């Protein structure tokens, strides 16, 4: 009897509470003059406008990315200044990745990645930090893919080729997004060269550094391609790609652990006959476009001793421009670069891992027949040159905020020789960079 009485009392209490709530709601609505529903609908509309929603329930959606902004202090031997903007080595971006399971072991999906930049650092020069590329969105990747657990992945659309970031992605330390293989070519690439205070016929660092992707031999960029990635077999992944008009290449990636050492290594080769690839002769979309024939290969690796955090990261790349000697028989058709970085990566504080590093890169650049310097009888196209880059810095990870704080010093110098054997000794270019990359 006690349990029945208790249940009955509970029901009566619920009914009383419901009646009280209804009378309160009606009274409140009357007090508000009937505007409560309008206010509620307006608030719902605001929430819907700020909510990311999936287009359907079959394909999952993951949104990620990062913001990477920094302060750059530079000195070219004649002028010095400080600029603030987007770090173009790994620009700010947001990424949408969708995936749906077709059946066990098989899936389909898509990737859409958009770059976002305020004032991009790779467009700055001595004239100022502003450019036509400021405050812009850039489509970095747009593709769909099919993936099998046993047979690998096929991707179609705008995506990295087989040698995309080949040397950069072999960086197994937390310097990958701060100071990788192409950092030396990107950070001061758009600045004008100087020799003895004077400019070198308005040439920029990017005009003389070779390679088809950000002035770095041995790797390529993002293209409209068909790409295949094999499943991982004993730590190895084989990648092949073809696309554009025409570019084709292959690469091999290895990732594993040998005792106390983490190993990450990549190597690859690619060839292009695409007349619109401006990194190779004739260096533009006009002229002897059908004569273009360019290939490159490279390899890099990181070996890290896990207990101590000591590591070495290094590699090399080469570009062979088979078409440049059709423009000038005496042109130098081969450009090479090599680099090495060493450091230590340890968690010394509760914040996260600290990475301290130093590095050196050397480029032997080949001919650029559409770029010249000198006057009168001393005028000639850029035939060859030697470039030296070194840097040192620190990266502090803040694990709780998915954030990397970084500061580094960079130095560049070298010399150029033109086709009539006149040499220009380049003034040193120095830069201090400090900023942060925060992920979401």
| Per-residue pLDDT tens digits for 231-282 | 999 999 999 999 998 999 999 999 999 999 999 999 999 999 988 777 788 7
Q: What is the pLDDT of residues 86-100, one digit of tens each?
A: 999 999 999 999 999
Q: What is the pLDDT of residues 34-60, one digit of tens each?
A: 455 667 777 666 655 555 555 677 899
pLDDT mean over 28-38: 49
Contact 230, 257 (CB under 8 A): no
Rg (CA), the chain: 28
Is 6 a residue whose pLDDT tops 60?
no
Residue 37: per-residue pLDDT: 61
For 180, residues 6+ apart whose C-beta sits below 8 A from its C-beta are: 89, 165, 167, 168, 171
For 375, residues 6+ apart whose C-beta sits below 8 A from its C-beta are: none
- Nearest-CA neighbor of 394 among 411, 410, 409, 406? 406
Distance (Å, whole) CA 440 – CA 15: 47
> In this structure, are strands 152-160 and 136-148 parallel, antiparallel, or unpaired?
antiparallel
Is 288 a residue whose pLDDT tops 90?
no
Is 334 a residue whose pLDDT tops 80?
yes
- Nearest-CA neighbor of 126 among 389, 431, 433? 431
CA distances in angstroms from 12 to 9, 22, 23, 26, 191, listed in the order given: 5, 15, 17, 21, 81
Contact 313, 301 (CB under 8 A): yes
pLDDT mean over 335-341: 98
Peptide bond just before 353 cis, omega within 30 deg? no
pTM confidence score: 0.85
Q: What is the pLDDT of residues 137-184, one digit of tens each?
A: 999 999 999 999 999 999 999 999 999 999 999 999 999 999 999 999
Residue 291: per-residue pLDDT: 62
Residue 47: per-residue pLDDT: 56
Q: What is the pLDDT of residues 111-142, one digit of tens each?
A: 999 999 999 999 999 999 988 889 999 999 99
- Does residue 40 sit in helix, strand or coil? helix
- Nearest-CA neighbor of 177 among 282, 93, 265, 80? 93
Distance (Å, whole) CA 175 – CA 340: 13
Cβ burial 129-154 (10 Å sphere, 16+ → b, else e): bebeeeeeeeebbbbebebeeeebbe
Residue 281: per-residue pLDDT: 82
Distance (Å, whole) CA 161 – CA 165: 9
Distance (Å, whole) CA 163 – CA 154: 16
Residue 56: per-residue pLDDT: 73
pLDDT mean over 403-410: 98
Residue 436 pLDDT level (bands cut at 50, 70, 90) = very high
Is 423 a residue whose pLDDT tops 80?
yes
pLDDT mean over 225-230: 98
Give the lowest-confidence range in 54-68, 192-206, 340-354, 418-432: 54-68
pLDDT mean over 57-74: 95
Tokens of 205: 């660092």
pLDDT mean over 57-72: 95
Contact 156, 304 (CB under 8 A): no
Is 365 a residue whose pLDDT tops 80?
yes
Name the average pLDDT for the chain. 89
- Does residue 133 sit in helix, strand or coil? coil
- Does residue 281 sit in helix, strand or coil? coil
Contact 369, 381 (CB under 8 A): yes
Residue 278, Cβ neighbours under 10 Å: how many?
14
Residue 16: per-residue pLDDT: 39
- Cα 241 versus chain centre, distance: 19
Identify each DSSP E strand in 21-151 by its residue range: 60-75, 80-86, 93-103, 106-117, 136-148
Distance (Å, whole) CA 136 – CA 339: 32
Tokens of 285: 């979309």
Taking the alpha carbons at both ends of the chain, their separation in whole angstroms is 59
- CA torsion through residues 15, 21, 24, 30, sign: negative
């Amino acid at each position: 009897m006690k349990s029945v009485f208790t249940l009955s009392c509970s029901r009566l209490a619920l009914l009383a509470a419901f009646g009280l709530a209804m009378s309160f709601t009606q009274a409140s609505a009357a007090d508000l003059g009937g505007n409560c529903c309008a206010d509620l609908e307006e608030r719902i509309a605001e929430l819907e406008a700020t909510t990311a929603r999936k287009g359907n329930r079959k394909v999952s959606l993951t949104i990620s990315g990062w913001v990477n902004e920094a302060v750059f202090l530079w000195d070219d031997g004649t002028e010095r200044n400080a600029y603030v903007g987007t770090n173009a080595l790994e620009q700010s971006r947001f990424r949408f990745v969708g995936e749906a399971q077709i059946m066990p072991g098989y899936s389909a999906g898509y990737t859409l990645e958009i770059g976002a930049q305020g004032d991009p650092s790779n467009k700055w020069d001595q004239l100022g930090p502003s450019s036509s590329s400021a405050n812009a969105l850039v489509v970095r990747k747009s593709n769909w893919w099919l993936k099998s657990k046993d047979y690998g992945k096929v991707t179609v659309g705008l995506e990295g080729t087989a040698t995309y970031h080949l040397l950069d992605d072999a960086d197994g330390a937390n310097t990958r997004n701060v100071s990788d293989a192409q950092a030396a070519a990107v950070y001061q690439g758009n600045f004008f060269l100087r020799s003895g205070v004077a400019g070198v016929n308005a040439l920029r660092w990017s005009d003389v550094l070779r390679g088809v992707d950000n002035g770095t031999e041995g790797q390529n960029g993002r293209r409209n391609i068909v790409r295949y990635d094999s499943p991982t077999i004993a730590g190895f992944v084989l990648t092949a790609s073809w696309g554009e008009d025409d570019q084709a290449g292959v690469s091999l990636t290895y990732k594993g652990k040998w005792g106390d050492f983490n190993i990450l290594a990549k190597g690859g080769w690619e060839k292009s006959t695409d007349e619109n690839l401006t990194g190779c002769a004739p260096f533009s979309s006009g002229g002897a476009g059908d004569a273009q024939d360019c290939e490159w290969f490279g390899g890099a690796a990181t070996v890290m001793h896990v207990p101590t955090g000591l590591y070495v990261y290094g590699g090399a790349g080469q570009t062979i421009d088979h078409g440049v000697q059709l423009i000038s028989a005496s042109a130098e058709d081969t450009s090479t670069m090599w680099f090495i970085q060493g450091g230590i990566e340890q968690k010394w504080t509760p914040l996260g891992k600290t990475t301290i590093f130093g590095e050196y890169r050397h480029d032997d650049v080949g001919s650029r027949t559409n770029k010249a310097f000198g006057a009168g009888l001393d005028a000639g196209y850029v035939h060859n040159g030697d470039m030296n880059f070194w840097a040192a810095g620190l990266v502090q990870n803040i694990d709780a905020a998915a954030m990397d704080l970084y500061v580094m010093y960079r130095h560049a110098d070298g010399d150029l020789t033109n086709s009539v054997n006149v040499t220009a000794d380049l003034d040193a270019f120095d830069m201090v960079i400090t900023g942060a990359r925060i992920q979401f």
